[in-house]
Each structure stands twice: as C-alpha cells, then as structure tokens.
Structure 1
Amino acid sequence: MMLIKQSNLDILVQLQANNNREWFADNKKQFVAEENHVKAFFKTVYNDLNAIDSIEKIKLYRIYRDVRFSKNKVPYKSNFSVGYSRTKPLLRGGYYLQIANNNTFIGGGFWEPNKSDLLRIRKELELDASELRELINEFDFIKMFESLKGEELKSAPRDFDKNHPNIDLIRKKQFLVIRNFTNEEVLSPNFKNEVVATFKAMRPFFNFMSDVLGTDLNGVSLY
C-alpha cells in the first residue's frame, strides 16, 4: 500500500526553514527521493480516481516557484501538489491535492472560470439556484466541505440585480470546495482512501456544473 511518510513532510519542513538555492543544491538527492515517493502516491490516486471518473490529464506541479512577477523571491514551494483534470467538454471541474506540513488539503471546482463559463453559471443561478443550494446544504456536503468557497465580488456583477435573492452565489468569481487534513490524517494508512472518497463526494457538484456548462439557458445541449 502506498502511504505518505513522515520523511515526506520532514523534507518540506527543512526546505521551508532553508529556502535557498545553496541548501537545495546540497540536499537535492534526498529531496528528489522524497518527491518521487509522493509523486508515486499521486499516481496511485490517479489510478483510483480514473476508475470512478474520466480523467483527461494529471499535472504534477514543480517545486520551483515562478518569481518573475512576484515580490516574494523565495525560490521553492513548501508543498507537493497535483491536479487532475476531468475530460472536457462534457465533464467539467478539476481535482487538486496538496501535501504539506500542517497544510494538507484537497480542493476542487472552478478556480479561474473563463469569462463565458462564468457568465453562463451566473445566468443559471439568476434563473434558478435551487439545485445548487440543495447540493451545498446537504448534511454530507457540509460535514466534508463546510460550505462553497471562492473569491467573490463585493457587489453584483455588471447587469445583475444587487437585490436578487441568489446574489450571494451570483457574485462569486470562483466556485470551490475544500477539505483540510491534519498531519495525523495524512500519515494514516487510510489517507489514500479518504482522498479518493473526498474527490468522489465532489461529483454531484461537478455534475451540476457540467450540466450547466454543457447546455444553453433553454437546456439545449451545446455538444
């Protein structure tokens, strides 16, 4: 059984405390060994996830930060992370997993929906948000994810009524679900199963969004 090990977290703690190129060069062999182990874990998650969903792409994120346009010039991330993309255009939504010391979490949803997708979602919610509200108010959803998260506008988007009863959802710019894990949970033998179960629990939300983005406002399929 593929498990996350204490040494996988320890190397990230050391990197965070010594986030410079000199330390990284001196410890690169050990770091790569730990990183490869976590990547293998990510790939076993991919295999399990692909058995219950259709995954178009797996993206293993590099440890190197892009500092070109950032005031923070620290060269390395302090986490291992991976993204799993569902097969478009019929299946929308993406899965994300980050492993980090005291900062491991699963995320999923719509991080940066393009302009047309965001407008389509908002128009749907303007018309009727009852199905989405039912999903996010279910006991199991609240227990696992607490609430629907994501950045939002302070007021209504352009051409939308600020007094609309669904304006709390319409003004969102992102539609995300997130579940956090303690280090103890990450190191548990059951962690991989929990990861896959969490991804599976996102499916009703993803299915709703896929139906919305795959149809026009009259419910006619776009594909």
Structure 2
Amino acid sequence: MLKKNKETSLKTTKRVKTEDEEEEKDRVKTPSKNKKAKSKPIHLKEDKDTYDAAEDQSSNGNDEHDDDGSEVEMYNESHIKPFGFTIPRPKGSPFPDAISPDTLVFLAELAENNDRDFFHFRSKEWAAARKDFMDFVGLLSTEIHHVDPSIRVEESKKAVYRQNRDLRFSNDKSPYKRNLSASFSQTGRKFLNAGYFLSIKPNNQSLIAAGMWQPDKYRLANMRSSIIRHADLLREALSTDVIKEAFDGKYGVDILDTTDRLKVAPKDIAKDHPEIDLLRFRSFAVEKTFTDEEVVSPEFMDKVMDVVEALVPFVAVINSWV
C-alpha cells in the first residue's frame, strides 16, 4: 500500500513539473504585450480642475513601476526647460503694490513647460503665484471702483479667470494659459459691456486694457449708430490731456487696438463716410503694456491706475451707447 502511494506521488510530481516547463517555454516564445518603454514618464495625478480620467485609467494603479518591475523615472528639475530671459528682482521685493518676481518666474517656466506634469511638480509655486495675483486684484478692484463707481466690486476669485485653456476649438493643445488675467466691469467677469482687463505675462508683455472686445451684433450696431450721430463724444474721450500723458503723447483713434478692424467699410455704410475711421472698428479697446521691471517694482499699482483713470471717460461713453 505504501509503495503504491509513493508511485502515485512521483507521477503527480512529474506531471506538475512538466506543466511548469511548458508554461515557461510559452513565456519565452511570446513576449508580453503589456511591457512599457522604460523612458516613459509617470502620469501624475492632477487636481480637481485638471484631472484627466483617461490618463488615470491607463495607469491601472501602477504609477511607479513598469510591468517588469523596473522603476520609471520621476519628473524632476532636470525635465524643466529653461526660459531665455531674466526676471528682475528689485531689492526688497516682493512689494504689496506690485507683482512678486516669483510669479513671473512661474509663468515664464510654464510657457516653456506647458503640460500637466510640470504643473503638478510646481503646484506649490502655482499656489503662491495665484495668491499673489489675487491679492493684487483685490486691491486693484477697490481702486478702480473709486474712480469708476459703475464697476462691480467682488471677491478676487470672481474677477480672476481660470488657468485652464478651452481646447475644444484650438489647434494648440497646451492645457494652460501663459498669463494670469482678471476683468472688472458692470457685469463682473462676464464682461458684456465696456470695462477693464488686467493681464500679467512675463517678457514685458503685461498690460492693462479698457473698452469693449468683439461685442455681439446688437451692441456693435448700437456703437456704429452712435458713432454716426455723436462721434465727437468718443473722440473727445480719447483725446484728453491725461490720455496723452498716459500714452506718451498718442491719443484719439491712434490708440485704439486695430487687431480686428475691417479693411473696408461695414455693410450699408459708404466707404467715404466722414466717420469711417471709427466705423471700421469691430472692437473698441485701448491697452497699455508694462515691462517686467515695472510689474515687480514699487508703485506698479499707481501706474496701472494712471491708465485706468485716463480711460474712465472712454468706458463711460461706450457704456452709454450699448
């Protein structure tokens, strides 16, 4: 009886060994389809606003290792591409009435590394930059309301635009805006009528603007109708002494933004109309740019407000027409 049990045990062991050998041969012959490239970076989990469910599902919960057990390289400083200019750092900065140099540094890096891995890696810097900008916007909103009471005063977070870009109709799939921006108007951030717009962008591209951008056809029709009847009011608002001082001697039609101005006369308007220079505009906006040095230096708020105060009559005329 013992001999019979021993023989049965030997046969079972031999059969298991043979099956194991066959499985090992199959594994050698058939490479794994799930093997990943070792150089592929980890998909870092994003915050609530930028989280991509498709990326999360593709990771299958294995964010730190390849299927073969090897570690994947983590995102670090060596992955960050440098920007090609210097952000000024005045002694004593940051100042309460200016933007922090660190905010410009973050935006400059974001422009060169516009992806979710960078944004996650620099999450602390992003939080600091956003707070710095929102603090400035809060102060600016109050100052603007003092010179233009028609402007709504609200929390900074309601004036500041979100950082994520709308990618639905754009060939540029960069997920984030390269600037920080906010608007101030009678309708708040919706900006249905004329108001003021602030954009902070490094490499001397920051600006304050005022007016109305690409109004709907009804507001645009009202604007053109009013220009035909009272163009002198708009011209006067663009030709004050404070306008000339704020815009280095320029004034009138010469300071209006021409980005979307028509090359010909609008429909049903004669090309030789006496107000044709104004009637060809689709947007009625004026902007003033600032250098990085100005943005991070004391009294930047005052420089912004000098422009805003000069443009209050311009904004008032537009809002009385639309």
TM-score, scaled to structure 1: 0.87
Aligned residues: 211
Alignment pair present for 1:59 and 2:167: no
Helix, strand or coil for the counterpart of 1:30? helix
Runs of 5+ consecutive residues of structure 1 not aligned to the other structure: 214-223
**2:205 aligned residue:** 103
Alignment pair present for 1:48 and 2:143: yes
Alignment pair present for 1:114 and 2:216: yes
Q: Please give the alpha-carbon distance, in whole angstroms, between the structure 1 residues aligned to 2:110 and 2:244.
A: 35
Residue 169 of structure 1 aligns with an amino acid whose one-letter code is L
1:71 maps to which of 171, 175, 178: 171
TM-score, scaled to structure 2: 0.61
Judging changes above 3 Å, is the alpha-carbon distance between structure 1 residues 55 and 134 closer, same or farther for their aligned structure 2 residues?
closer
Alignment pair present for 1:200 and 2:296: no
Q: Please give the alpha-carbon distance, in whole angstroms, between the structure 2 residues aligned to 1:136 and 1:8.
A: 33
Helix, strand or coil for the counterpart of 2:321? helix
Work out whether residues 181 and 199 of structure 2, in 8 Å CA contact, stay in contact via their aligned partners in 1. yes
1:158 maps to which of 236, 243, 267: 267
Judging changes above 3 Å, is the alpha-carbon distance between structure 1 residues 3 and 176 closer, same or farther for their aligned structure 2 residues?
same
1:149 maps to which of 242, 250, 257: 257
Alignment pair present for 1:3 and 2:106: no
Identical aligned pairs, as a percentage?
A: 35
2:113 maps to which of 5, 8, 18: 18
Q: Please give the alpha-carbon distance, in whole angstroms, between the structure 2 residues aligned to 1:12 and 1:170.
A: 37
Structure with higher strand content = 1
Deviation at 1:51, TM superposition (A): 2.5
Q: Please give the alpha-carbon distance, in whole angstroms, between the structure 1 residues aligned to 2:146 and 2:187.
A: 13
Work out whether residues 54 and 87 of structure 1, in 8 Å CA contact, stay in contact via their aligned partners in 2. no
Deviation at 1:112, TM superposition (A): 2.1
Deviation at 1:15, TM superposition (A): 0.9
Runs of 5+ consecutive residues of structure 2 not aligned to the other structure: 1-95
Helix, strand or coil for the counterpart of 2:159? strand
Q: Please give the alpha-carbon distance, in whole angstroms, between the structure 1 residues aligned to 2:220 and 2:169.
A: 26
Helix, strand or coil for the counterpart of 1:109? strand
Deviation at 1:184, TM superposition (A): 1.1
